[in-house]
A = this chain, B = another copy of it.
Amino acid sequence: MQIAKVRGTVVSTQKEPNLGGVKFLLVQLLDEEGSPLPVYEVAADKVGAGVGEWVLISRGSGSRNVEGHRDRPIDASVVAIIDTVTVDNQRLYDKGTQW
């Protein structure tokens, strides 16, 4: 999985029928220091992440191991809202302290 920050949304009316009701978030991937990478994903979201939050992104077939998404044509999902990231025994991110 990759760490990413929620930046926005993508909306579509004309689409594959089995994408109906899926919420798409635009998330920016972060490196292991918490800095933005030049890589984004448009990821399906069912955990209810909000703009600015750090999330875990799962890509590929694993992104569809989410209830109701198994047969959808998606390749990226928000699977968790991150509470804390600890690297080299230091706290890189703590949701509670409003990074």
Binding site for B on A (CB under 8 A): 1-3, 7-19, 24, 26, 28, 31-32, 38, 40-43, 46-48, 51, 56, 58-67, 71-77, 79-89, 92
Contact = CB atoms under 8 A, between A and B. Distances in A.
Contact of A16 (B31, B80, B83, B89): B80
Given A8-B88, A56-B15, A83-B12, A62 B72 contact: yes
A4 to B, nearest CB: 10
A20 to B, nearest CB: 11
A18 B58 CA distance: 13
A70 to B, nearest CB: 9
Contacts of A61: 60-62, 75
